[in-house]
Amino acid sequence: MESFEVILKPICLVILIVLCLHAMPSSCNFTSFVFGDSLVDAGNNDYIFTLSKADSPPYGIDFTPSGGQPTGRFTNGRTIADIVGQSLGAKSFPPPYLAPNTEAQAILRGINYASGASGIMDKTGFFFIGRIPLGEQVSNFEQNRIYMVNEMGENYTRKFLRKAIFSLTIGSNDVLNYIQPSIPFLRHDKVSPSTFLDFMISNLTLQLERLHEMGARKFIVVGVGPLGCIPFVRALKLLGSGQCSSAVNTLIQAYNHRLKELLSRLNQEMGPETIFVFANSYDVFMDIIANYHQYGLENANDPCCGGYFPPFVCFKSSDANTSALCDDRSKYVFWDAYHPTEAANLIIAKQLVDGDENVSFPINIRKLYNYNNS
């Protein structure tokens, strides 16, 4: 009986994919492969030795599927990737790559490879010890792809992957590492801002090309948000309430400009069957900060959890009272010193999914999902 199930399961998966590939996308399960950092990590860091973890309360306090228990997400509820998937019909979330027995899920739901503290460049986040850089995340996808080919062959694997969404939300930690003061004993001299941005773009280009070579055709690449306005950077730069670091935000805008140019070039070179969408999270998040009252929010300065000053730790104390947790999480822009609340993520995701070309270029995420590239 057991051997019969082993034989039957791959056959059922292949039948499912064949039916899906010959139907309209809306009739199939939404499949996404998520790459990135703590903004979209769904629990991979729970499985490695790292100082960058979200595996204790009150993280996940508003995440309904877990009953309010931590899942490794660095926010109180859903990430932007979670919400985007649900908006496009996903019935469940892609599991973290490092969770046990996830290979078959790659065919059904996709996989989340994201890792807190990670960056585009391999050395980013080394202070946190463990993390999975973007290049390693792409290599992990390569392992999942081998499984797919073994189960349904190269031809159907390529047909399947050309319909899936590949999202990359990464770059914030590279910038945060760059702007922090150098540590003298490490004797690490900083390169110029322009050279630093060249490194980011060239390394990202390499990983996008690797994914494309393996069959990815629908890409969402999220720009870096206004880190000059997050509580951690405002504290680092000794800025008062409501102020942002213009130097940090100028650097990020320069990166986002280069990123958009890169994606436009790749669209020209690889289109029309391949499409890269630039998700302008910077402008969306800046608008939330500037006009938070219009979005029903009440605080765009302070983190809901963890305090405004070092060590910025968000935790639940032993007496069952949550440390520095705000009264109404739905009214705050920032969950902790680094990450948005689910309330802010909902606003950002909605605009990325259905917004105009100022938010998602050249088309929004819903149009990307329905884009016929066969």
For this structure, is 38 an active site residue?
yes
- The C-alpha atoms of residue 14 and residue 131 are separated, in whole angstroms, by 34
> Cα–Cα distances in Å, from 144 out to 9, 43, 93, 138?
17, 18, 17, 10
Q: How confident is the model at residue 141 (pLDDT cuts 50, 70, 90)?
A: very high
For this structure, is 336 an active site residue?
yes
From the list 37, 174, 302, 336, the catalytic residue is 336
Domain boundaries, the chain: 27-184+193-370
Residue 9 has pLDDT above 60, yes or no: no
From 120, 70, 72, select the one nearest 99 (Cα to Cα).
Answer: 72
From the list 38, 52, 115, 281, the catalytic residue is 38
Number of residues assigned to the chain: 374
**Cα four-point dihedral sign 373, 214, 220, 40:** positive
Q: Model-level pTM?
A: 0.92
More confidently predicted of 16 and 59: 59
Residue 186 has pLDDT above 80, yes or no: no
Looking at the domain covering 27-184+193-370, what would its CATH class be?
alpha beta
Q: What average pLDDT does this structure show over 170-190? A: 80
More confidently predicted of 48 and 307: 48
From the list 52, 174, 245, 339, the catalytic residue is 339
For this structure, is 46 an active site residue?
no
